[in-house]
Structure 1
Amino acid sequence: MRHYPRARIAGRENVGLVREPLNRYDGNAIAVRNSRGEQVGHLPASPVARTLAPLLDSGLLHALHGIVPRSNSKANFTPYSLPCQVHLFARPDDAAVVEAALEEAGIDLIHNDHPEFALSQSAAVMEQTKKTDREVDKLFSLVGGKKGKAPIQPMEAPRDVVLSELFEHQKEALGWMAHREESDDLPPFWEETEDGGFKNVLTNQSTEERPPPLKGGIFADDMGLGKTLTLLSLIGRTKARNVGVKMAKGAKRRKVKDAGEGPRPTLVVCPPSVFSSWVTQLEEHIELGSLKVYMYHGERTRDKKELLKYDIILTTYSILGTEFEQEDSTVKHIEWFRVILDEAHVIKNSTARQTKAVIALNAERRWVVTGTPIQNSSFDLYPLMAFLKFQPFSIKSYWQNLIQRPLENGNKTGLSRLQNLLGAISLRRIKEVDIGTKSMIELPPKTVLECYIDLSEEEREIYDQMELAGKDKMQEFGDRDSILRNYSTVLYFILRLRQLCVDVSLCPLDVKSWIPSNSLEDVSKNPELLKKLASLVDDGDDFDCPICLSPPTKTVITSCTHIYCQTCIMKILKSSSSRCPICRRSLSKEDLFLAPEVKPSDEDGSGKQESDRPLSSKVQALLKLLKTSQNEDPSSKSVVFSQFMKMLILLEAPLKDAGFNILRLDGSMSMRKRLQVIREFAHGGPDSPTVLLASLKAAGAGVNLTAASTVYLLDPWWNPGVEEQAMDRVHRIGQKKEVKVVRLIVKDSIEERILSLQEKKKRLISSAFGKKGGKDDKEMRVEDLRMMLGIDGGGRPVAGGRGSRLLG
């Protein structure tokens, strides 16, 4: 409803909806009046009032009843608009006409058998759907922990498609997935009633038709346990059943489709870095020609019939996001037999376009695949539920009321409900188990060590100067709101401090040349400053668009020095607010500056280093560790991870001078080039590469690097899950040697504080799936920013419990 800010209205108040046919501004007006008879607003003119007014005037609707639902916020009201639940009353004979009119106008009508019906705050509905917390928790426990639950029956992969023998845990996963796809069981929380109907015991939704089974779920095995081969076995099983092969091994295949069977293509959606993993797995484990695969990226077909000829269509999240608003998108108009979201944590932002795109896909069977289903908060799981169409949890309000809010409030029932819910639809096994229990697979051990490094006197002087400038600037900003208005400035200080820990050459030393001025005019009229701000985005992987929470595409810098995707900020400008989402300053199109395009990295490996520039302390330590490792085992291979692409290029010259045969893998490379690098690195022999320089973004997920046995993390990452993914590129199925992970950390620096932040995130995720402990997002963000700059108790932490330490 359109709300008048001066009018008062209480939470969950019954309101009067009064037709105003003589309203001089709108002949369809329907006024909203509170319990005291005061007018508090109007129903939206289009399409609500425009549709409901003629129905009221004609008598097809004989009454409207409105309720302003109780808000969970302590704030009084949202200016100019408030939610209003409108209940319609019509005679049974007129119901069909009313429903048709609403449908034509694009207004959603929620019947009493719709899962959202129970969200109504009408007294009658609330009484009908009333349940105590204890009853709700009992329902969750019945769903997640059913007694007498049959154990998972292992299943062999189809031998005419899959050449490799599966591990026992992969056979169990294949059996579990096949059962979930082929079972006719009712979805969780549904039961059959005595009269032959069906009822959702959680929402009280009733229907005469049997609800379709939930064909799919969350496959969340730990990274490195061979999920891709298990998925290929599932797809191969579909192909084998479809073809109907029942002949002895070696006999000529007879390709005859089952009667009535149509095309059964599987759409696999993954990040670009994971393409190489699927291609490699297909080449190594699948019989040549048994599965037809189409790469849906780059130049791709728009012919639906052509795509239906294939068993597997591989594409990326970004491509689906790009095609989401295109009417001629082929993937949107295919009824897929199966959709697999690999590395599905990519869609943790429910408002991102690529998330909306995958949720909108038509599919009979849906699978979410990720070794890190929760990275920051339990809300990461909501988009996964929306993709799986798992009602009622695919409805955001249900997820927030039953799961999210209890978790955030520290209520133990929230965690219990979440565990039971996941127990009903997910499978997760981990590699590392408690002492005394059998490991999932026989992998060599993995050791994580920290190598603490002292900066040189010159490096320390520059670092301390930068940190002091950052602290002074933070103190100058003062309160929380001022810090958030200058959020990007603080981020630039943090980024520069992190770069100084790695190599001084990553950071321009003239601080005043890149610190944004307090004057907006100076920023908007200084193209050199804007160019330097853009270079900051290119230097690090930290910058996410605050609107879509993804790395910016077509990066735009505002006159108030905040960074967004062009598409995201343009939508804001077209809205009624036209303000910067971070600092709330007014913006126009003239206040936006498009960042220069990112230049492709030097793929031929000819990156040069200034000959007269001394090596940084961290690079010297890395070279010392690499030489020691090579002396111990000349055939050993290592992977050096960094988030700074420029650093990977700078490392090439000193490593080559030291006699190492190197390769580089970064995010600017084409998929073909990445695959070539990974294959070359895996190759053995006396002249084979011994060191791979890899960016976390390009090689942090879905890449098999088991040719190496040592991992060096050159700079720590905010999210511990990203680092775990990087480690598990090496420590996974196929690894024959003991794996050593070395994290290079500068003493008394921001890097130690990042370790502390990582540990805090791990505790939050493991203890309560990301509960926030009662603090809001802004307070947590400012607290972390202060900690990174060493303010308010954010000094050097004790970074223990992660293995032995090495001397720098």
Structure 2
Amino acid sequence: MMLRMLPSPAFTLYSDTPVLTDRSWDGWWGDLLCPELPSGDPLLDDNGNKGSDATFANIEDIELWAEQSLPVYDPPSDTVPLPLPALPGDQRLDAVLQQCYGMIYRASVKVVGNMADVDMKLKTTNGSNDCYAFNICKSLTQIVLKFQDNVEFGYLNTHISKVLEPLLTKPLVQLEVLGSQSAILEVIGRATKAADAIVRVNINIYGPQDVADVRKEVARHLSDQKIYLQRPDSPKLGSVYDNPHVLKFSDIDISSFDFKAKVAPPRAEVSTDPKKLQKIVDNVYASLTRGSKLNRMEGDSRVETKLLPHQQEALDFMVQREVGPIPLEFCLWKPMEGDNKDWYIHAVTGAKSRLHHVETGGGILADEMGMGKTLSILALITKTFDSADKWVAPLDILSDNQREQRRSRATLVIVPSAVLINEWLNEIDIHLNGSLKILKYHGARRKELEPTLEKADIVLTTYHTLVVDYDKRLKPLHRIEWFRVVLDEAHIIRRHATTFNRATSELKAGNRWCLTGTPIQNKLEDFGALIAFIRASPFHNLAMFRRFVTTPFDESEERRAVATRNLTLLLESLCLRRGRDLLHLPDPKERVILLDFSKAERDLYKDTVDKMDRALRHKPGETRSTRMFGLFQIQLQLRILCNHGTYQHPLSWKRQSLLDEREAQLCQVGIDREVVCSVCCQPISLLNANRAYQRVGGNCAHVLCSDCLEESEELNEGVGDEVMSCPLCALSGAHVPGSRLGARTGDHDDGYLRPEGHSSKIEALVSDIKEDLWKSKSIVFSCWTHTLNLIERYFEKESIPYLRVDGDCPTVRRQKVLDDFSNKPENPILIMTTGTGAFGLNLTSANRVFIIEPQWNPSVENQAISRAIRMKQKEHVLVTRYMIRGTVEQVS
């Protein structure tokens, strides 16, 4: 039983309203738009919910065209409502409302009341095909769903309630709410608190068959609210399905877009913990066969470095994805057989079309870190110069006024930071013969380079520079249609709502490439963002990826299998992913050295534990949250003491170092956690914000990304060692003490470490470093800047030469330090903070790595170590970790 809508004067039909005849669209328009227009596809927002600013099948463009091109009828005020057909009793509305406009899919409902009562009501009611029909009515604030005995079941979410509220007053519109009994029972059965009792329902919408105005008004109202109907799963018997949100074309078989098999009724969502997701993704990677079915293609003569076999195969893959042909096995559009032999069907969506779709235009190179993706792209650039010239040639005969977009044969490469621009320049110098025109579009004076952008072969810039220009009125990089755009570390655009994503997506290009060692970092949608960027139709719309991969993956084990299959098909077609086992790199040798404190260190450690414990237990007004933070601080101080020994002040925990806390938390959260730059408002990895946290004084809460910090330094050239305030605070007139430009934090730490002392850990490091000091190069990692300061003391006392990179090192100086370490034999040691070493470095000149303290987040440590274990590494890398026996380090 469902709620019947009673007639209301609020909704009026006009007898003299002109009705436009149904017009079909002939010819190739249908073939062109067919893959974009599956019947009744839902539109999802960034969180996977209905109703967003996203577009589906260019629907907003279609609506804009309709508003501008179709006649608008403004009915007179004295029009007379059409009478309803004279039918007896309840048959009246049922006989009229026989057209099903479609279904609102998976609307969320907050279940209310006693869960045991809800469970009992559902179990004692036998719904048809597991579907339970809820009554629907309006309360003072929201739309309420009720059981058939009018006991409240739950409330529709606020957005859907606001959308449906006007429809409840319309006599010729009927809403039918259907929920899966088994799915609801499963949700409430595992709900541990009220907030967990969120279920999903489908809402069918019905109207009269022969009144076009009702259909048109409902369609317009829903689309204005960004709600788009799809094919109903369980329509009423005898009803006719006619979706007003689906365009009809004479040369498209609309019935072929039957997604009922792909969109199941609402089910209980299954939770996926990160470890299980990673295991599934690893299994998908292992099942891929594309890499084993590639030929080895030689590079162009302009590439002076001999490509390794896996790079030759990568070149074959990329040429296939740009020039073609793509083997049929890895095409997404497959030819049909039998009576439909002139048709093609999409392997993932099931859409059919007569058009043979060209699937070239770029892809994703997702080899693991350290396999030489940069050289592979350089080989592609030089191999396809002829294709680039042909692509530009048709526009060369046009005048500037005739061109809608300037075309360039160049490849635009976008990287995360200026450091990686230098890495690319180094790779170009090493591997190419010097005949290409390379342009570095970065820095305060880049505007002077705009006239030369089109004439370059390779243009290098950063995401930050692209976004800054994008936000300005003139967009030099967006005014050019590039032959190719390459995103390095492409997972940076994985979040759809960021300006990074929008700015890169709006670039014009003939081919689009994503380079990343981590195409799926935290969730499946990370990969969907990359597919959307390369515009692999129809998945250039992220809603399609959510529909066929993300949403079913979280619905049930059965649907998860379907989603995994779809993900595998997309990876096989669009992505090349291989592991570093292809490189046959020498396996790293790892050792953990357990050390014992000296008696003085042990006494200091025990005394510190006792004092901090007493202070924490007797702290007034202690809450659980503050107690947990206190425990974190105890662990932090004890870990630092394990490094510093008796150099640590006995009461250092009373004058806690904000820098210590920041650095510890940065390494704890790893590379996936982000903050927002206070200047450009772009998200940056916390690890990459390490330097920004250190450069600005402890009383300031501003965080600057490296690019904004570099710009502030350019404005402060010549300041030397004078104290620099936070750039934003300086603009506001506030005085916030900062650090000296280019100075190390330890040079002015106000006596953080005692002048004299003993550290068993650092002494062990010095002893190990001195072995084979001049036979191999070494990197020393520590989470804390203060620990690096202590290491410096020991090295200087022993006359051991070293170089240093930490979060306080400007980009220009950092690059020089890295170059000197790699190229000059008189520099055998590099000491650096762990966070700094986790991003943007190539340190294969080192074959010894020393980790001073165990990390709470092993991924940060692994990222740092992998900078030395990558292509070109010929020797075994020895990784040494230090740990103090019987301390918090063994428990962490």
User: Is 1:499 matched up with 2:612?
Assistant: no
**How far apart, in 2, do the equivalents of 1:30 and 1:98 lie?**
18
Deviations along 1:362-390, one digit per CA (max 9) or x if unpaired, are 66644443335566777865655665666
Describe the SS at the equivalent of 1:706: coil
Partner of 1:804: none
Q: Which amino acid aligns with 1:427?
A: L
1:237 aligns with 2:413: no
In the alignment, which residue of structure 2 is the partner of 1:698? 836
The equivalent position to 1:675 in structure 2, one of 803, 815, 827, is: 815
Match of 1:213 among 355, 359, 365: 359
Q: Which residue of 2 aligns with 1:395?
A: 545
| 1:177 to 2:318 alignment | yes
Choose the corresponding residue for 1:741, options 865, 869, 879: 879
Task: From the superposition, tell whether residues 66 and 207 of structure 1 become closer, same or farther in structure 2 (CA, over 3 Å).
Answer: farther
Q: For 1:101 and 1:410, locate their aligned partners in 2 and report how far apart those are by CA, in whole Å.
A: 32
Aligned to 1:641: 781
Contact 1:664 1:677 (8 Å CA) reproduced: yes
Alignment counterpart, residue 427 of structure 1, candidates 555, 562, 576: 576
Q: Which stretch of the first structure deviates more once superposed, 393-402 or 450-459?
A: 393-402
SS in 2 for 1:542: helix
TM-score (norm 1): 0.65
Corresponding position of 2:760:
617
Indicate the residue corresponding to 1:751 in structure 2: 889
Cα deviation digits, residues 639-676 of structure 1 (max 9, x gap): 21222233223322321332222211223333322221
Partner of 1:537: 662
Residue 595 of structure 2 corresponds to residue 450 of structure 1? no
Q: SS of 2:845's equivalent? A: coil
Task: Mark the CA change 1:277 to 1:492 in structure 2 (over 3 Å): closer, same or farther.
Answer: farther
Identify if the C-alpha distance between structure 1 residues 173 and 474 changes in structure 2 by more than 3 Å, giving closer, same or farther.
farther
Matched letter for residue 497 of structure 1: L
Q: Distance in 1 between matches of 2:199 and 2:314?
A: 47
Letter in 2 for 1:460: R
Once the two structures are overlaid, the 10-residue window that deviates more, 65-74 or 230-239, is: 65-74
Secondary structure in 2 matching 1:166 = coil
Q: Distance in 1 between matches of 2:524 and 2:615?
A: 34
Q: 1:146 to 1:535 in 2, by over 3 A?
A: closer
Report the secondary structure of 1:705's partner residue.
coil
Give structure 1 stretches of 5+ with no counterpart: 116-123, 134-139, 246-253, 433-438, 515-528, 557-562, 568-593, 754-787, 789-808
Give me the whole-angstrom Cα distance separating, in 2, the residues matched to 1:718 and 1:410. Answer: 36
Closer/same/farther in 2, CA of residues 130 and 735 from structure 1, 3 Å limit:
closer
Query: Aligned residue for 1:118?
Result: none
The match for 2:870 is 732
| Corresponding position of 1:588 | none
AA aligned to 1:715 is E
Match of 1:513 in 2: 654
Secondary structure in structure 2 of the residue aligned to 1:503: helix
Q: CA contact under 8 A between 2:601 and 2:645: conserved in structure 1?
A: yes
- The one of 392, 412, 428 aligned to 1:266: 412
Q: Tell me how far apart the structure 2 counterparts of residues 192 and 656 of structure 1 sit (CA, whole Å).
A: 72
Tell me the CA shift for residue 281 of structure 1: 0.8
Which secondary structure does the structure 1 equivalent of 2:835 belong to?
helix
Q: CA deviation at 1:152?
A: 0.7
Instruction: Answer yes or no: is the 8 Å Cα contact 2:851–2:880 preserved in 1.
Output: yes
Residue range with higher mean Cα deviation, 257-266 or 449-458: 257-266
Once the 2 structures are TM-superposed, how far is the Cα of residue 456 of structure 1 from its aligned partner? 2.3
CA–CA separation in structure 1 for the residues paired with 2:880 and 2:438? 41
Deviation at 1:166, TM superposition (A): 1.6
Check the 8 A contact 2:490/2:514 in 1, yes or no.
yes
Report if the CA contact (8 A) 2:489-2:516 is conserved.
Answer: yes
Deviation (angstroms), 1:607:
4.3
Q: 1:268 to 1:471 in 2, by over 3 A?
A: farther
Q: Does structure 1 retain, via aligned residues, the 8 Å contact 2:369–2:517?
A: yes
The within-5 A match list for 1:756-767 is: none
The 2-side partners of 1:323 and 1:125 are apart by: 42
d(CA) in 2 for partners of 1:476 and 1:332?
A: 61
Counterpart residue identity of residue 213, structure 1: E
Partner residue, 1:766: none
Is the alpha carbon distance of 1:750 and 1:381 closer, same or farther for their aligned partners in structure 2, counting shifts above 3 Å? Answer: farther
1-side partners of 2:352 and 2:509: how far apart?
Answer: 24
Q: Within 5 Å, give how 1:476-625 maps onto structure 2.
A: 488-504=629-645, 509-510=650-651, 513=654, 532-533=657-658, 536-538=661-663, 541-542=666-667, 544=669, 548=674, 550-551=685-686, 599=739, 602-603=742-743, 607=747, 612-625=755-768
Q: Quickly say closer, same or farther: Cα 1:702–1:542, change in 2 above 3 A.
A: closer
- Show the counterpart of 1:713: 851
Q: What's the CA shift for 1:30?
A: 6.8
- How far residue 596 of structure 1 moved from its aligned partner, in angstroms, is 7.3
Residue 304 of structure 2 corresponds to residue 166 of structure 1: no
Distance 1:476 1:14, change over 3 A: farther
Aligned to 2:803: 663
User: Cα distance, 1:692 vs. partner?
Assistant: 1.1
Partner Cα separation in structure 2 for residue 618 and residue 302 of structure 1: 53
Q: Which TM-score applies when normalising by structure 2?
A: 0.59
SS of residue paired to 2:772: helix
Higher radius of gyration, 1 or 2: 2
Deviates more, 1:142-151 or 1:285-294: 142-151
DSSP 3-state at the match of 1:263: strand
Between the two proteins, the alignment pairs up a number of residues equal to: 659
1:710 deviation in Å? 1.9
Separation in 1 of the partners of 2:285 and 2:865? 35
How far apart are the structure 1 equivalents of 2:813 and 2:348?
51
- Please state whether the residue corresponding to 1:222 is helix, strand or coil: coil
Residue of structure 1 in register with 2:722 after alignment: none
Q: Could you say if the C-alpha distance between residues 646 and 204 of structure 1 is closer, same or farther in structure 2, counting changes exceeding 3 Å? A: same
Computed over aligned residues only, the root mean square deviation of the Cα atoms, in angstroms, reads: 5.6
Kindly provide the CA deviation profile for residues 614-658 of structure 1, in whole angstroms up to 9, marking residues without a partner as x. 34222111111111122xxx3532221222233223322321332
The residue aligned with 1:371 is 517
2: CA distance, partners of 1:354 / 1:148 = 30
5+ residue gaps in structure 2? 1-106, 123-129, 233-242, 247-257, 268-281, 399-405, 676-684, 694-699, 705-733
User: Aligned AA for 2:771?
Assistant: T
